[in-house]
Amino acid sequence: MNKEGPRASTGRDASAPIDDHDLVRAARGGDREAFRTLFERYHRRAYSLAYGVLRNQDDALDVVQDAFIKAHEHLDKFEGASSFYTWLYRIVMNLAIDLLRKHRRVSPVELDVLDAGSDDALLPRLLGGNPGRALLDKEIRARIDAALAELSENHRTVLVLRELEGLSYEEMARAMNCSKGTIMSRLFHARRNMQKRLVDLLERPAAAPANEIDDDEVA
């Protein structure tokens, strides 16, 4: 999934992937094809992040579009200390979080404290160790989708940042402007809630998932 091949700018050797930093330099100089190559490389990944947080396709597409426009506008501020994508995902995250705040219709009650007195515990494995195969099952996909949608925005955001982008607790705390303890709490509750909502998948035999979709339906 997300096998976006690097796109070379017009006039360049298409077989040689061009370094992101070189593309940024070229784009700064007005090379639109260079910026397009960056777009081709990262738009789906950025979309995954935005959609994971927002759970709305139009909103996620808008955020990705705005993020690339903003990135282009501020290319001169990209110092190259991190990768282009790290810089981009921060823009995507900020825009997504801003949109959540702007459109927030419900203020969910959340447990954002590490409550050591609670006996809330993680569950053991659900799917017999074959999540890749489980994802071919439409029903399981629908269940994951529903479970993600039912998480509070903060819990979902932290889960997406961790599971999709692999951010550390410290990085997430900075991105979400909260303490590391809050991040740990949100992540724990997010995972625990996901497990609770998927727990009956335990009863499904992992080797032969029902409703398996055809191979040609899997991109």
Q: Which residues bind other proteins (CB under 8 A)?
A: 1-2, 32, 35-36, 39, 43-45, 47-49, 51-52, 57-58, 61-62, 64-65, 68-69, 72-73, 103, 114-116, 118-127, 129, 131-132, 134-135, 140-141, 144-145, 148, 159-160, 162-164, 168-169, 184-185, 187-189, 191-192, 194-195, 198, 219
Shortest reach from residue 194's CB to other proteins, in Å:
6
Helices 57-73/32-54 angle, 10° precision: 140
The residue among 119 and 215 lying less far from other proteins, judged by its C-beta, is 119
CB 83 within 8 A of CB 46: no
Shortest reach from residue 13's CB to other proteins, in Å:
19
The span from the CA of 62 to the CA of 54, in Å, is: 11
151, two tokens:
């998480």
Instruction: Write the DSSP assignment of 119-133 as a string of letters.
Output: -------SSTT-HHH
C-alpha separations of 37 from 6, 31, 66, 67, 76 in Å: 7, 10, 17, 15, 18
CB 38 within 8 A of CB 23: yes
The residue among 31 and 94 lying less far from other proteins, judged by its C-beta, is 31
Shortest reach from residue 31's CB to other proteins, in Å:
11
The span from the CA of 183 to the CA of 186, in Å, is: 5
- Name the CA radius of gyration of the chain, rounded: 20
Shortest reach from residue 180's CB to other proteins, in Å:
9
Shortest reach from residue 153's CB to other proteins, in Å:
16
112, two tokens:
């954002």
The residues with which 137 forms a beta bridge, in sequence order, are 212
The residue among 2 and 177 lying less far from other proteins, judged by its C-beta, is 2
The residue among 18 and 158 lying less far from other proteins, judged by its C-beta, is 158
Shortest reach from residue 79's CB to other proteins, in Å:
20
The residue among 65 and 94 lying less far from other proteins, judged by its C-beta, is 65
What are phi and psi for residue 192, nearest 5 degrees? -60, -40
The residue among 91 and 127 lying less far from other proteins, judged by its C-beta, is 127
